[in-house]
Chain A
Amino acid sequence: EIVLTQSPATLSLSPGERATLSCRASQNVGNNYLAWYQQKPGQSPGLLIYGASSRATGIPDRFSGSGSGTDFTLTISRLEPEDFAVYYCQQYGEPPWTFGQGTKVEIK
């Protein structure tokens, strides 16, 4: 199965700063079928990005995804107070679909 490793585990930043989250796959993710989700405490994950770089409906343009093959990045250009949460990447290119262990973006 494809193992996804996210880094860093925790990112301590201030509102207005730029956040760069990494997701590395143990093997090529077919068709760049890589999604990013945001999860806040007590809530279900919410889709941010699919197909590595396509923003889901209603997602602000400060969120962007990039990358291909085995290396993917989620960038939040300017952190808003509501962006402090845990972010997961997921590959859906081949079964079993797998998730990264998450990156927590916390207020510095």
Chain B
Amino acid sequence: QVQLVQSGAEVKKPGASVRVSCKASGYIFSHYVIHWVRQAPGQRLEWMGWINAGDGTTLYSQNLQGRVSVTRDTSANTAYMELSSLRSEDTAIYYCARGYGPGSYCFPWGQGTLVTVSS
């Protein structure tokens, strides 16, 4: 079955960077996109960006002001999300999710990765 498995929880200091991985299985990785969405405590879900796993095209939320980068390794069926210049407000659960194309809903979702930013 289609499954997305994310890397484990991270604790980072302000100003540092974090990289979260998302390993896909059960489908042809390069035929879909991978979205990244985060959920801060008490906040709504926030879309961060996506990558076309086939050609590597990306699109990011302008709200993250160039701090986010999404890449993929097709040989490993894995997508990566890197967030730099971390602040306490970046403390959140980060999810990857599969999409059928740029304008697509998210299904299924990974299990989530908790990133805690604290001095």
Interface residues of A (CB under 8 A from B): 31, 33, 35, 37, 44-47, 50, 56, 88, 90, 92-102
Contact = CB atoms under 8 A, between A and B. Distances in A.
A33 B106 contact: no
Q: Main secondary structure on chain B at its contact with chain A?
A: loop
Interface string B78-112: 00000000000000000100010011111111111
Interface of B: 35, 37, 44-47, 59, 61-63, 95, 99, 102-112
Contact of A45 (B45, B46, B61, B103): B45
A14 to B, nearest CB: 27
8 contacts: A33-B105, A45-B109, A46-B108, A47-B105, A95-B59, A99-B44, A99-B45, A100-B44
A9 to B, nearest CB: 12
